[in-house]
Structure 1
Amino acid sequence: MHIFTTGVTNVFNMFNCPSTSNGKVVELAQAFAATLSKDQLRDLNQDFSLKNAVNWSNYPQAALGRRGHCGLRIGTLSKEQWTALNALLAAATGSFKSKGYDEIQQILNADDYLRDHGGGRDYGRENFYVAFLGTPSDSGTWVLQFGGHHLAVTNTYAGGVLVGATPSFRGIEPFTTFEYNGVSDQPQQQNQKAFVALLASFDNDQLAVAKLLGKYRDLLLGPGSDWEFPTIPVGIRGPELRGNQRALLLAVIETYVGSIDKENAARILAGYENELDSTYVGYSGSTSMSKPRDYIRIDGPSVWIEFSMRNGIIFSDPHPHAVWRDKNTDYGGTAS
C-alpha cells in the first residue's frame, strides 16, 4: 500500500490560505459519519492510499463489480443520512448555479432519468459512492470522494486546508435539457457554450494554430490515466490571444474551478490566471463542440481541462465527458 506522504507538505505551503468552508467540511463530514451504522462506516472509511484514491470510473458503477468505486453505496442511505450527506457535499462543492453541488444534483437526476428511460438498474443515484480516505480532521490529511457514472469528486484536505480539488470528472446524458421530478436539468451546456464562445473568437490563423493533429474519441486523462500529461504542449499559447480572448479562456476555466466553494475557487482561479501566458488551447473536430469526436483541451503549467463529445449510449444524441486535473495537486499533489 502506498501511503500519501510525498508532495503533501509542498502543496500545503502553496495553498496555505485558511478558508472557513474547509472547517465546515470537516464538521459536516463528522456529522454525516455519526448517522451511519457500523457496517456503513466500514464501507465509508478507507485507507488513505493512492490505490484507493485512483479507484474511480465514469462508467455505471454497478456494471464494474469489484473494479468499481470504493466506499459506501449511497443507495443504502436513509432520508436522514441523505440529508447529512447533501449538507457535506454542498459545503465541499459550493453554491454556484449549475456547478458544484447544483451540478451534482443534476447529474444524479440524469442517472435516474437514464434508469427510467431504458438504462435499467445499472443506472440511478443509488449506484453512486462516497468515501473518506483517512479521517476527517483539521490537523491530518484526508480525501473526500464522491462519484459514480459521469461524476468524480476528489477533494484532498491537509491541516484544515483544501490542497487539491482534482481529478474532477463531469459528464452527462442526455445532453439536451430534460425534466426530472419537475426540475429542468442540463448543467454542462454552460461549459460547452463557454468553449464555443472561445473558439468563435479565433480568427482563421488562430484556429489553424489551435488545431490538433488526429482525432480524439475520448479524454486523454480520464480514469486510469493519472499523471499521464503530455510532455510537450500544443495548440495556441496565451500570448497569441487578444485581451477579450484571454477573458474568454479564463471564463472556460472558471466553469470547472467553480465546482468547489467560492473561497477556494477564487484562490485557484487566480493562480491559473497568473499562468495564462504559458497556457495552451487545442481542439479537434468542429468548433461547435456538438458532434462525436469534437474535442478541446486547456493545457497550462498547472491546469489541465478536457472536453470531449461522445456517442450516445442510452440515447442517440452525443453527450460530453470532461475532466479538470491539476499537474501539481491531483490527489493532493502526490503521484506515489
Structure 2
Amino acid sequence: MKFSTLCVILSVAFIVSCSKNEDTPSTTSATITALSCGTATFSATSTSGTAYTGTATIPYTGGNGIAYSAGSAIASTGVTGLTATLQAGTLASGAGNLAYSITGTPASDGTAAFAISFGGVSCSLALTVAKTSTGTTDCSTATTTVAKVVCAVEAFKATLSATQLSTVQLTLTKANAIKWSNLPGGVSIRNGIEFSTLNATQLAAAKAIIRAASGTTANEGYDEFSQINAADDVLGTKAGSGYSSGKYIIAFLGTPSVTGTWMLQFGGHHYAQNITYNAGAVVSATPSHQGIEPKTWTSGTTTYAPMAVEHDAMAAMLASLSAAQLSIAKLSTTFSDVALGPNKDGQFPATKLGLAVSTLSDAQKLLVLAAMKPWTQDVDDATGTALLKIYETELSGTYIAYSGNATLTNNADYVRIDGPGVWVEFVCQSGVVYQNEIHYHSVYRDHTRDYNGL
C-alpha cells in the first residue's frame, strides 16, 4: 500500500509544509500518519541575541504505540543559532504530541525553521524570533543608565493595553515592595504582569528593560537572569506545568522617571530583583534573590551553570582560611535555607557572628571582596562597582561565617558575609525536582539600603 500526503499551512507565527510518501511501515518502528507543525506550541518566546531554552510541542495523528528514542540536534535555518532535539517517548495509539527541546542563541530576529522528520512524515517547524527592542524607540542614545531604563519602560508601556498597564504600574508602598518570592507561583505571590500573558513584541520590550537595568558581565546580570529564567523550562520539562519561564513577572512601583522615586521589580521562581531609583540614580539594589535547579544542565552543545561563579567564589574564600580561622568562622546553627529570604525584611542578627575580616591577610580580604562581587554585578555595571567600593571601605566591620562543610558541596552547607552594609548568604539544599542533586539558594541584602529604607 502507498500513502501520499502534501500540506501547506501559513499563519502569522508558523510556516509548515508537510510531505509523506512511504510503504506500509514495519510494526517494529515508530510511525505516524500526519504531523502538524502548523499547530505546534512553544513553552517560551524567543528574542534575538538572547539565550533560549524552550520546548516545542507538535501534534500528530495515527501513532502506532511504539517507543522511540531521543533524536539528533536539528540546526535552524533562516534565523540561525538554534537547535531542535526530539525528546524520547512512546507514541499514543492514535493522536498525541511530540516534544522537541529547542536551545541556543538566535543570531537575528525573524523565523527560525527546523526540518522535522519523524515516523515517515516530514514538516517544517517555525519559531518566531522577536527583535531585542520594540518599535522605532532607540534607547541607546540615552545619556545615563537610568535614562535608558526609563526609555525602555516607556517603550514597553506603549505596547500594553489599559488593563495590562494597570496590572504592571502600582503604588510605591512597603506592602507592595516586600511582595516578592523565590517560589514558583507567578503573580499569585508577586506583583506585576506575567511573561506568559505578553505577546512576542511585549515580552521583548519587557526584557529590554531588564537588560538595561542589569549588569553585563558574563553569567551575571542579564545573562544570569536569562539562564535562571530558562532553567524553569528545564524543570517544567521534567516536572510539569508548575514550572515555566512564562511565570516570571515585571512590575513598576511608583511612576518610572529620571527625577522621582520608583522601584523596578522583576523575577519569578529562583529569581527576585528589587531596584529602587531616585533622582536619576540607583539608590538600592536589594533585596536580590537567586537560586538554581538544576545547578547545571546541557542543551545542545552548551552547558549552563549560572551560579557556579557564586559558589566557587564563596568556596575559595573559605578555602583560604586556616584551621584556626575556620574554627572561629564556623556557626553552631544548621541552615536549611537562607535566613533572610522573602518576608524576613529587617531581621538582621543583632550581633555579628563568625570571623572578623579585619583579622585576615590582604590576600584573604581580596577573596572576601571577590565573594561579594557576583551579587553586586547583577545590577547595572556602574552601580555594582560603586556598591562593591562601599563594601570594601567597610571590611573592617565585616564578618564571614559558615555552617556544615566549607567546600559547599552537601545539603545544608551554608556561608554568609555580614558587614555594616552588605549581607550575602549562600546555601546548598537537596533538590526538589532533581532529588539526587543539590541546588543553590542565595540572597543579597543591605542593612541600610533595602527598599531604599521604606
Superposition TM-score, scaled by structure 2 size: 0.67
Corresponding residue number in structure 1 for 2:231: 110
CA distance in 1, matches of 2:154, 2:260: 14
**1:295 matched to 2:414:** yes
CA distance in 1, matches of 2:365, 2:144: 31
User: Aligned letter for 1:107?
Assistant: I
Which of structure 1's runs of 4+ aligned residues deviate more than 4 A? Answer: none
How many residues were matched structurally?
Answer: 311
Which structure has greater helix proportion? 1
**1:226 matched to 2:345:** yes
Residues 311-334 of structure 1 show CA distances to partners (whole Å, capped at 9, x for unaligned) of: 100002110100000111101122
In structure 1, which of residues 265, 268, 293 is the aligned counterpart of residue 387 of structure 2?
268
In structure 2, which of residues 148, 162, 168 is the aligned counterpart of residue 38 of structure 1?
162
Corresponding residue number in structure 1 for 2:206: 85
Give the conservation status (yes or no) of the 8 Å contact 1:196–1:288.
Answer: yes
- What is the deviation of 1:182? 5.7
Query: Which residues of 2 match residues 168-187 of structure 1 at below 5 A?
Result: 168-175=288-295, 177-180=296-299, 183-187=302-306
Corresponding residue number in structure 1 for 2:83: none
Give the conservation status (yes or no) of the 8 Å contact 1:151–1:171.
Answer: yes
User: Aligned letter for 1:38?
Assistant: A
Corresponding residue number in structure 1 for 2:150: 26
CA distance in 1, matches of 2:343, 2:425: 15
- What is the deviation of 1:25? 0.9
Corresponding residue number in structure 1 for 2:361: 242
Paired residue secondary structure (1:80): helix
Q: Return 5+ residue gaps in structure 2 as ranges.
A: 1-142
RCO higher in structure (CA 8 A, sep ≥6): 1
- What is the deviation of 1:184? 2.6
User: Aligned letter for 2:220?
Assistant: K
Give the conservation status (yes or no) of the 8 Å contact 1:113–1:180.
Answer: no
Residues 146-178 of structure 1 show CA distances to partners (whole Å, capped at 9, x for unaligned) of: 011000010000111100000000000001x21
Corresponding residue number in structure 2 for 1:162: 282
In structure 1, which of residues 207, 211, 222 is the aligned counterpart of residue 326 of structure 2?
207
Paired residue secondary structure (1:56): coil
User: Aligned letter for 1:75?
Assistant: S
Paired residue secondary structure (1:166): coil
Percentage of matched positions with identical amino acids:
40
User: Aligned letter for 1:44?
Assistant: V
User: Aligned letter for 1:242?
Assistant: S
Give the conservation status (yes or no) of the 8 Å contact 1:153–1:168.
Answer: yes
Give the conservation status (yes or no) of the 8 Å contact 1:22–1:162.
Answer: yes
CA distance in 1, matches of 2:209, 2:333: 42
**1:139 matched to 2:263:** no
Paired residue secondary structure (2:201): helix
Residues 18-65 of structure 1 show CA distances to partners (whole Å, capped at 9, x for unaligned) of: x82111111111111111111211110111111011111111015xx7
User: Aligned letter for 1:76?
Assistant: T
Bigger Rg, structure 1 or 2:
2
Residues 238-263 of structure 1 show CA distances to partners (whole Å, capped at 9, x for unaligned) of: 11111111000000110110101111
CA distance in 1, matches of 2:422, 2:276: 17
CA distance in 2, matches of 1:124, 1:134: 28
Corresponding residue number in structure 2 for 1:309: 428
RMSD: 1.2
User: Aligned letter for 2:178?
Assistant: V
Paired residue secondary structure (1:217): coil
Corresponding residue number in structure 1 for 2:175: 51
**1:254 matched to 2:378:** no
Paired residue secondary structure (1:142): strand
Give the conservation status (yes or no) of the 8 Å contact 1:109–1:180.
Answer: no
Paired residue secondary structure (1:162): strand
In structure 2, which of residues 420, 423, 441 is the aligned counterpart of residue 321 of structure 1?
441
CA distance in 2, matches of 1:183, 1:32: 31
Q: Return 5+ residue gaps in structure 1 as ranges.
A: 1-18
CA distance in 1, matches of 2:175, 2:330: 36
Which structure has greater strand proportion? 2
